[in-house]
Chains A and B, each alone.
Chain A
């Protein structure tokens, strides 16, 4: 997308008025490259570009800036009108205050434990189910898959209450399994995994079987190594979803020493000063933002792959 080689004549004393053309790359869109590079096209293009970049930064980055700097202001400064754009004397006091008031250490520990534990359990259950449905092909396999996918049609808020009643009946309140069991019943994960397993050629598996590998060995040594991309996508989405989840943990994990980060923040936010709340929010955002920075490509690829075909 960035033009290379257009400046081959850089040795000239005065660069001509002609600037390098806007490269359109291999794909054309609504506006043709010719139109784009006409004098008016360029003017409009650059003004739209600047407007979009500024608007996006204001709309999506500035709120986060406000949150981070809000937590660096003192209690008086944060309530001051008009507000200051930069904290007058940046301190980390509010973060320390948030850490102790919200008991963020416990909350973060809980949330990490629930997310990672849920991830391990979910992958065990969903991968083996998808493997059975895709490669072992049992009787009624399609019926089972259909019934699993049918659960995706039922709105989450509607099953919330009967699910809660079920979990209460089983005595799973304030028990991590109350989060993990329902999370593992994820039809979409099974669908994605099964679709990927379906694309693995039979010959590979037959070759392994001739070498004497049983079904578990085939799964472990043939299927899983090939399936790394889809396993990565499913893992990231499973972990991030459970980290972000609010309503279900609000109902299931009610003891204050067992709450998740989101629930803990919501329960204590009314009793804490504004800058400490912002401190808590920053801490809660850091893990997901780090995950986003690191796995950006996988997340964006997974988003479009799952939704267009699904």
Chain B
């Protein structure tokens, strides 16, 4: 009896969460799977079409380009968004002054609504009176077309993305660096290791786990990039910034073709799950 009562009260407390998860988290996950095998525009009743959606998506002009753009964006965003925060955290950790100010400032863009960062940078990227070209002109460098040229559009998106996201990674690394036992550095120093050797043989092995974790999290986050192309380039110029997520959004909300969007989503998810599985394996190896 007591067990039954305990279970009843427990499920009483759980029921609201179970409802929210069932309808708005678990069911959509199943729905995603179903959707990718259906043709539906949400008005007519859906029809089963087997693998047609996948075939259509793969054969769609720009499909390969979208994956290439996504991978390029992810790669560039990692070069900036993964390496820069770590180096910044390393330097910040050595500084003994202005620490609170620097931490505050680097996290400030993370607090801004992304739309603010994006619209602000859209103005900076303006080829005419935009801040970036004015600065380039000031130091006598040629002006760039930024968002208007296929050559620089993607890297411009990476700049915005790094600016508005690097704060959290930096602070996480900083916390990890502060957990390194000082004895290790002392021992390394006694063994005659210079600054770079200390970084290579003490700092990096000691923060390896968090570095791997953040690497995977960032890959998953950047592969879903949407706001930047949606607001800054609209996929242009010449389709150079159409990412997979952006293409998915367009299929669903411009063409009302939810099935194909679902199929693209499935592909994106499989790729991301492969990364996640890879991460799990790496972290497990690390513990062993």
Contacts and interface: CB of A to CB of B under 8 A. Distances in A.
Interface of A: 1-2, 22-25, 27-32, 36, 45, 48-49, 52-53, 56-57, 59-61, 63-64, 66-67, 70, 78-83, 124-126, 128-129, 131-133, 136-139, 141, 144, 147-148, 151, 153-168, 170, 181-182, 184-185, 187, 190, 215, 219, 240, 243-244, 246-247, 251, 261-263, 265-266, 269, 274, 277-278, 281, 284-285, 288-289, 291-292, 296, 299-300, 303-304, 307-308
Query: What 6 A-B pairs come out closest when comparing CB atoms?
Result: A129-B17, A138-B10, A136-B10, A132-B13, A162-B31, A304-B175
Nearest to A2: B97
Nearest to A154: B29
B186 A284 contact: no
Contacts of B21: 147-148, 151, 185, 187
A182 to B, nearest CB: 4
B175 to A, nearest CB: 4
A181 B42 contact: no
B51 interface: no
Contacts of A31: 94, 195
A48 B98 CA distance: 12
A304 B172 contact: yes
Contacts of A303: 168, 171-172
B102 interface: yes
A1 B96 contact: yes
Interface in B102-146: 102-109, 111-116, 119-121, 123-124, 128-129, 131, 134, 137-138
A246 B9 CA distance: 37
Given A82-B138, A284-B116, A28 B186 contact: yes
B112 A285 contact: yes
A184 B113 contact: no
A299 B269 CA distance: 30
Contacts of B273: 153
Nearest to A180: B20
A1 B182 CA distance: 17
B14 A157 contact: no
Count class of interface residues, chain B: 35 or more
Contact of B175 (A48, A128, A185, A308): A308
Interface stretch (B57-65, B75-83, B148-156, B260-268): B260-268
Contacts of B231: 266
Task: Give the interface SS of chain A, mostly helix, strand, loop or mixed.
Answer: helix
B29 A151 contact: yes
Contacts of B99: 1
Contacts of A131: 13
Task: Give the interface SS of chain B, mostly helix, strand, loop or mixed.
Answer: helix
A59 B88 CA distance: 13
A288 B113 CA distance: 8
9 contacts: A24-B96, A60-B163, A158-B268, A161-B248, A184-B16, A184-B20, A187-B21, A261-B113, A303-B171
A284 B117 CA distance: 11
Given A60-B109, A296-B104, A304 B96 contact: no
A164 B40 CA distance: 13
B215 interface: no
A263 B119 CA distance: 12
A163 B28 contact: yes
Which has the most chain B C-beta neighbours within 10 Å: A136, A157, A190, A291?
A157
Interface in B216-246: 220, 223-224, 226-227, 231, 245
A128 B18 CA distance: 11
A128 B108 contact: no
Contact of A168 (B42, B137, B177): B42
Contacts of B16: 124-125, 128-129, 184
B212 interface: no
Given A247-B227, A269-B119, A22 B31 contact: no
Given A154-B269, A162-B32, A307-B172, A132 B10 contact: yes
A53 B175 contact: no
B276 A153 contact: yes
Contact of A53 (B12, B101, B180): B101
Given A161-B32, A284-B115, 14 more contacts: A1-B97, A29-B182, A128-B13, A148-B25, A151-B25, A155-B272, A158-B272, A164-B252, A185-B21, A185-B24, A281-B119, A285-B112, A285-B116, A303-B171
Contact of B119 (A128, A185, A266): A266
A66 B219 CA distance: 31
A166 B27 contact: yes
Contact of B265 (A157, A215, A246, A247): A157
B178 interface: yes
B172 A215 contact: no
B7 interface: yes
